Amino acid sequence: MSGDHQHVDMESTPVPRLWIALGLAGSFMVAEVVGGVLTGSLALISDAAHMLTDAMALAIALLAIRVGRRPADILRTYGYARFEILAAAFNALLLLGVAFYILYEAYKRLYEPAEIASLGMLAIAVVGLMVNLVAMRILTGHKDKSLNVKGAYLEVWADMLGSIGVIAGAGLIWLTGWEWVDSVVAVGIGFMVFPRTWVLLKECVNILLEGVPPGMSLAEVEQTIVAVPGVASVHDLHLWAITQSKASLSAHAVLAEGADAETVRRAIEAQLQQKFDLHHTTLQLERENCAPMETIH
């Protein structure tokens, strides 16, 4: 089994910066909800839902760091990192529900327009843009060093675009009085949430179902192992992920006649690490194939 179990993203994640960004996103999310109710702007409430994705992404990043550093025990032999995936799946389902609600409200308002306080909507959206720019500045220096920070940074970047949309909509309403623009902006923000939320949910389900990690091919991994000198065949090959950054593999490899087991094991692990960045591997080396004939590759 491979002995390299270190993950740079956990070690390099700047926890204080994540807490600051979470405080900014969470506080302004509440302000946008209150502002949306007071001004009658569905676009602000929609942008608050978008801001919720930022806050949840940051919270999940912090949760992943906290639980990912807890050691495994006799009951949780893989540790507690799967809480990150469960939290992310719950987040995705919640956001899909909110997005559907916003689309429904926008549909109703097309027939029953609500009065919009455009200047109040504009002021809150400008503050929101400033909050997003500050949060992006906080996370920029570490976004390429940590998967968690990169995900949170992309969420904030997308929400910045939402804030710009609300500002443009508020300005247009103020200049023209076209209050239906608020619903159009809300729908646009809702459709920005949908694709990322759906992708997040698919990734969570794939991990929970022990699916092959995205970007990896089971066939390519199998071919790489079989190509190692001293390997006759491979069977019972499994490739899955505990969390997004912890891909794991287990396999039975049948040794060619005269091959040294330890030499072959080290060669397989070296190839898996080099080609697929796989560091969690469990290999069973056999002199005779223990698999049924139909499973032999």
The tokens of 73 are what?
Answer: 């025990």
Instruction: List the pLDDT tens digit at each of the 297 positions of the chain.
Output: 443 333 334 444 567 777 888 888 888 888 888 888 888 887 778 777 767 777 777 787 777 677 767 777 788 877 777 777 787 787 778 778 777 877 777 777 777 766 778 788 888 888 888 888 888 887 776 655 555 566 667 667 777 777 888 888 888 888 888 878 888 887 887 777 777 778 878 888 898 899 999 889 999 999 999 999 999 999 999 999 887 778 899 999 999 998 999 999 999 999 999 999 998 999 999 988 776 554 444
CATH architecture of 218-295: 2-Layer Sandwich (3.30)
Which tokens go with 171? 């300005």
> Torsion angle, CA of 157/159/163/168, rounded to 10 degrees?
80
The CA distance from 197 to 34, in Å, is 24
* Nearest C-alpha neighbor of 151 from the set 237, 53, 235: 53
> What global pTM score does this model have?
0.68
Question: Rounded to an integer, what distance in angstroms lies between the CA atom of residue 234 and that of residue 13?
Answer: 38
Q: Return the DSSP state at 295.
A: G
What residue spans define the domains of the chain? Answer: 8-208, 218-295
Q: Do 220 and 191 meet the contact criterion of CB atoms below 8 Å apart?
A: no
**Contact between residue 99 and residue 194 where contact means Cβ atoms under 8 Å apart:** yes
**Alpha carbons 139 and 60: distance in angstroms, whole number:** 15
CATH number for the 8-208 domain, one of 3.40.309.10, 3.30.930.10, 1.20.1510.10, 3.40.50.300? 1.20.1510.10
> Which two structure tokens, joined as six digits, stand for 114?
């609500």
In angstroms, the CA 235 to CA 233 distance is 7
CB-count burial class (<10 Å; 0-12, 13-18, 19+) for 234 = buried
In contact, 168 and 56? CB cutoff 8 Å: no
